[in-house]
Amino acid sequence: MVKEIERAGIPVVHICTVVPISLTVGANRIVPAIAIPHPLGNPALDASEEKSLRRKIVMNSLKALTTEVEGQTVFEE
């Protein structure tokens, strides 16, 4: 899906936990996530901490979208 969105001319960032799969699939902008069943959350945290964790990942993905890349790039925090 990532590739078809990119092919349509829309920049896309892939937030995912298993980065090697994303690299194999061919995503260009990749942001690592927390865990498979909760990529943008952590049930061990309290609600406000969890939301700020989620915000951090989303902000990182926005950074990825506003960064010019040549080929596949993983945006670690």
69 contributes a contact to other proteins by CB under 8 A: yes
CA 8/CA 52 separation, integer angstroms:
32
> Of all helices (H) and strands (E), which one includes residue 59?
helix 47-65
Q: Which two tokens stand for residue 56?
A: 């951090």
Q: Quote the least distance from Cβ 77 to other proteins, whole Å.
A: 16
76 contributes a contact to other proteins by CB under 8 A: no
Q: What would the x/- binding string for other proteins be over residues 28 to 57, using CB under 8 A?
A: xx---x-xxxxxxx-x------xx--xx-x
Nearest to 15 by CA among 50, 58, 45: 58
Q: Which two tokens stand for residue 39?
A: 């990529």
Give the footprint of other proteins on this chain (CB under 8 A): 1-18, 20-22, 24-26, 28-29, 33, 35-41, 43, 50-51, 54-55, 57-58, 61-62, 65-71, 73
